[in-house]
Amino acid sequence: MERTFAMIKPDGARRGLTPEILARIARKGYRVVGLKQMTISRQTAENHYGEHKERPFFGELVDFITGGPVVAIALEGNEAIAGWRAMMGATNPANAAPGTIRADFATTTGENVTHGSDSSESATRELGLFFAAGELLD
């Protein structure tokens, strides 16, 4: 069993996509071991996107992710990291495979509805940023 961090970004939450995305997660067979709606602080957003700090789009990323409520999700399942990333689809929705979340719902590369950890190290770090000790189910 593997755990990963998933997020429904402000554009997805604002558009009411949370129930559909959670239903897709359940149909896939992943177990939700942590779930909360929240507004991300600027400090948490800067830590979350820290690897992009020197990139010109860093400020836009932080502004976007702090611009409204998100849904933070801790998922558990077999190969959950790769599986969730496959369910999301390519970052650019124009390149996302049909039936993926981003192909079905994303409008632009910048507003692409979801986030998912890209490695076990990222998953551990991101789960720790968004969930305190004791907030995840055993």
Using 50, 70 and 90 to split pLDDT, how confident is the model at 27? Answer: very high
What are residue 79's phi and psi, to 5 degrees?
50, 45
Tell me the C-alpha distance between 40 and 48, whole Å. Answer: 10
In a domain, 84, yes or no: yes
Provide the pLDDT for residue 133. Answer: 85
Residue 45: inside a domain, yes or no? no
Token code pair at residue 96: 């996302």
Number of domains comprising the chain: 1
Name the catalytic one among 115, 116, 126, 131: 115
Residue 115 is among the residues annotated as catalytic for this protein: yes
What's the pLDDT score for residue 51? 85
Residue span of the structural domain in which 34 resides: 2-38+71-130
**CATH code at position 24:** 3.30.70.141
**pLDDT score of 93:** 96
Give pLDDT tens digits for 82-134.
Answer: 999 999 999 999 999 999 999 999 999 999 999 999 999 999 999 999 999 89
Has residue 17 been placed in a domain?
yes
Q: Rounded to the nearest 5 degrees, what angle is found at the Cα of 135, between the Cα atoms of 112 and 14? A: 30
Dist CA 116 CA 88 (whole Å): 8
The answer to whether residue 94 is domain-embedded is yes
Tell me if 32 is assigned to some domain: yes
- pTM (global) more than 0.85: yes
